Amino acid sequence: MPIHLQSFFYRRTVKPVYSIARWQPGFCKYPVIEPFVPVHQGRAIRHYPPDKYLTLYAEAVKSRLGEVENAINNLKRLKDATLCCWCNQQRQKKYEKLFCHTILVGFLLEHHGIPVVYRDGRENPIWDIEDRKRFLSLIY
């Protein structure tokens, strides 16, 4: 029952496929899992350095934790699924390692016992184990 995390542009997908981005490319028509979308207090979380982004996304998750946990429980019922966002290394030349909220979603899913497959650069995240601990501590 792994959940695969990747960009919209990665060619191998495991169905069903969901978007966890604010919008998606025209060639995609995936259902959106809104509680994972990087928005806080009605505003997109963007243009922040990784440390601040992690904090803001944790605050967003905590503010809608009931919805997030419902989404996690729904994903637990699936055999497999793919969650997509725009980010990949080709679109992020500013950072050596991938900087995407899907990685933080992966931390949440793993915290809830769901196996995660990090793809399309997510296997080389900008955040490390200490960041993961801090992220989860800001929520729980």
pLDDT in tens, 77-115: 998 999 999 987 777 777 788 889 999 999 999 999 999
Q: What's the pLDDT score for residue 98?
A: 82
Low-confidence ranges of the chain (pLDDT < 70): none
Q: What's the pLDDT score for residue 76?
A: 96
How far apart, in whole angstroms, are the C-alpha atoms of residue 106 and residue 64? 17
Q: What is the dihedral of CA 86, 91, 94, 99, to 10 degrees?
A: 30
> Rounded to two decimals, what is the model's pTM?
0.95
Strands (E), the chain: 3-7, 17-19, 39-40, 43-44, 81-85, 116-118
How far apart, in whole angstroms, are the C-alpha atoms of residue 11 and residue 66? 32
